[in-house]
Amino acid sequence: MDTDIQLRLLFFVSLLLSFFLLPWWVSVPAVLAYCIYYTPAVEVIAFGFLADNLYGVSYIYTYIASAVCFLVYFIKSHIRT
């Protein structure tokens, strides 16, 4: 397995653990660093969905925000190609 893939997997697992074990103000900068280091970071949408479900007040906002993120991602990828 490539070292870049191993590093990305290690960073992914550490982010997942940070959502469960650390406060949100530690997890958010870690996710931003993940977005900066790995350009097509689609996993961030899953982290946002997880964070909204764990810490959110209204569950309808979670689904609306996730739909908007998917829409923006697909529009951005369509414009780039």
pLDDT per residue as tens digits for the range 2-52? 788 888 889 888 888 888 888 878 888 888 888 778 777 778 877 777 777
For residues 32 and 48, the answer to whether their CB atoms sit within 8 Å is no
Residue 66, domain extent: 3-80
Is the pTM for the entire model greater than 0.85? no
Number of domains in the chain: 1
Q: Is the dihedral of CA 54, 55, 57, 63 positive or negative?
A: negative
